[in-house]
């Protein structure tokens, strides 16, 4: 069902593009954040296989656990688009329910990450152990920080809505928060492929496994 | 002042309805289809990870599946398929820059695991 009311938020004031500057700014920020994560991924890749001591990626990365956390993050993105659709329709109770579901799933993802980091430290991998540890913790740590900021942002939307301060005129605020949340999701899609799946396969190949 | 700005030829030439056309956002049914596709593709990634005969071609497969998932989220959840094209340009510009940084550094350091 198409929601015509949601198409193209009218800008608060006239702009040269006719588009709302806040949304444009968020897209410019996301474009720059692509470069940020691209640099971290490039740093990981150019140092891949150069660790002098273990543990190495294929020895320590846990694909089943990370697959579950990936499902959780993908599901959280779905929950958030449902909340945006509910807000657009003016169903604020449904909006709060879906936002809260998104927050719970975001926190679950962070829980998985904390669990993973603890496991790694327990098995002897810290940011100071080797090049893999340094680049891995930096990349996934910054992603975790982005998720944490997203969770705080979504919680603030939830409480604003609870106090009746997120009416139809604030639909763009929900849309912009959603852009950030989905961006965190797409970055994880890349990290899961490059660091986890491909990293383990390549490491096992190199080790003759 | 504001009124004057709205009437300038520049503003008139760039109204969202003309230059940056936007379409209606999809509803829950489309979002659900995208979610099912994303979960399915992730499931495929995990399954092929455990298929030993595919080990020689699995990394390019992971990248293809990842690009499809990335595009699904960007097009349907971030509404790039429906919103003004200018947003896509900024985002794709960032992605292209990031990709060129990755490719450039890999070429410079001559390391890649694919």
Alpha-carbon gap: B95 to the closest alpha carbon of chain A (Å)? 6
pLDDT for B31 beyond 80: yes
pLDDT > 90 in chain B, percent: 65
Residue B63 sits in which domain range? 23-82
pLDDT for B13 beyond 60: no
> What pLDDT score was predicted for residue B55?
84
> What pLDDT score was predicted for residue B56?
84
Cβ atoms of A40 and A137 closer than 8 Å? no
- Residue B6, domain member (yes or no): no
| Interface residue of B83, B85, B100, B106 to substitute, partner A, most A CBs within 10 Å | B83
| A8–B83 C-beta distance less than 8 A | yes
- Residue B74, domain member (yes or no): yes
- We find that the CATH architecture of domain A20-206 is Up-down Bundle (1.20)
> What pLDDT score was predicted for residue A11?
64
Total domain count, chain B: 1
pLDDT for B4 beyond 60: no
- Residue B96, domain member (yes or no): no
pLDDT for B3 beyond 70: no
pLDDT for B91 beyond 50: yes
Q: Two tokens at A37?
A: 């994560």
The C-alpha torsion from B3 through B7 and B11 to B12, rounded to 10°, is: 140
Three-class SS state of A120: helix
Question: Would you tell me which residues 49-68 of chain A have a C-beta closer than 8 angstroms to some C-beta of chain B?
Answer: 49-50, 63, 67
| B6–A48 C-beta distance less than 8 A | no
Q: What is the mean pLDDT of residues B85-94?
A: 95
- Chain A residue nearest residue B92, CA to CA: A31
pLDDT for B66 beyond 50: yes
Backbone dihedral angles phi then psi of residue A117, each to the nearest 5 degrees: -60, -40
| A198–B19 C-beta distance less than 8 A | no
- Chain A residue nearest residue B40, CA to CA: A71
| A70–B73 C-beta distance less than 8 A | no
Distances (CA, A) of B61 to A106, B6, B51: 28, 50, 12
Q: For residue B3, how many other CB atoms are within 10 A of its CB?
A: 7
Mean pLDDT by 10 residues, chain A (209 residues): 48 77 95 96 92 90 95 97 96 97 98 97 95 96 98 98 94 96 98 94 80
Q: What is the mean pLDDT of residues B50-56?
A: 88
Distances (CA, A) of A134 to A47, A56, A190, B1, B69: 10, 12, 19, 54, 28
| A34–B97 C-beta distance less than 8 A | yes
CB pairs under 8 A between A and B: 203
For chain A, the residue count is 209
Alpha-carbon gap: B36 to the closest alpha carbon of chain A (Å)? 10
Secondary structure letter of residue B24 according to DSSP? P
Q: What is the mean pLDDT of residues B27-44?
A: 95
- Chain B residue nearest residue A190, CA to CA: B66
Chain A residues within an 8 Å CB radius of B74:
182, 186
Q: With an 8 Å Cβ cutoff, is A150 touching chain B? A: no
Q: Two tokens at B37?
A: 């596709």
| A182–B77 C-beta distance less than 8 A | yes
> What pLDDT score was predicted for residue A174?
97
Name the residue among A145, A30, A147, A165 with its Cα closest to residue A95.
Answer: A165
| B58–A201 C-beta distance less than 8 A | yes
Domain ranges of chain A: 20-206
Return the higher-pLDDT residue of B98 and B25: B98
Q: Two tokens at B1?
A: 């002042």
């Amino acid at each position: 069902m198409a929601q015509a009311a949601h198409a193209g938020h009218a800008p608060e004031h006239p702009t040269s593009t006719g588009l709302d500057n806040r949304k444009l700014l968020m897209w410019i920020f996301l474009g720059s954040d692509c470069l940020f994560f691209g640099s971290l991924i490039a740093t990981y890749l150019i140092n891949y296989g150069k660790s002098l001591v273990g543990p190495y990626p294929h020895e320590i990365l846990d694909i089943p656990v990370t697959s579950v956390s990936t499902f959780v993050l993908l599901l959280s993105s779905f929950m958030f688009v449902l909340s945006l659709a509910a807000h657009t329709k003016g169903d604020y109770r449904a909006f709060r329910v879906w936002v809260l579901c998104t927050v719970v799933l975001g926190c679950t993802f962070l829980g998985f990450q904390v669990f993973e980091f603890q496991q790694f430290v327990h098995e002897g991998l810290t940011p100071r152990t080797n090049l893999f540890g340094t680049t891995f913790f930096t990349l996934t740590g910054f992603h975790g920080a982005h998720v944490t900021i997203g969770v705080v942002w979504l919680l603030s939307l939830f409480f604003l809505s609870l106090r009746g301060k997120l009416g139809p005129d604030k639909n763009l605020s929900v849309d912009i928060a959603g852009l950030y949340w989905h961006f965190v999701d797409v970055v994880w899609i890349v990290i899961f492929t490059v660091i986890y799946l491909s990293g383990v396969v390549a490491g096992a190949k190199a080790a003759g496994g | 002042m504001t009124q004057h700005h709205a009437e300038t030829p520049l503003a008139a030439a760039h109204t969202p309805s003309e230059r940056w056309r936007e379409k209606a956002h999809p509803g829950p049914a489309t979002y659900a289809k995208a979610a099912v596709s994303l979960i399915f593709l992730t499931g495929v990634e995990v399954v092929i990870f455990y298929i030993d005969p595919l080990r020689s071609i699995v990394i390019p497969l992971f990248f293809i599946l990842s690009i499809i998932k990335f595009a699904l989220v960007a097009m349907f959840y971030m509404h790039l398929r429906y919103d003004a094209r200018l947003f896509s340009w900024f985002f794709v510009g960032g992605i292209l820059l990031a990709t060129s940084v990755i490719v450039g550094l890999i070429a410079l350091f001559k390391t890649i695991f694919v």
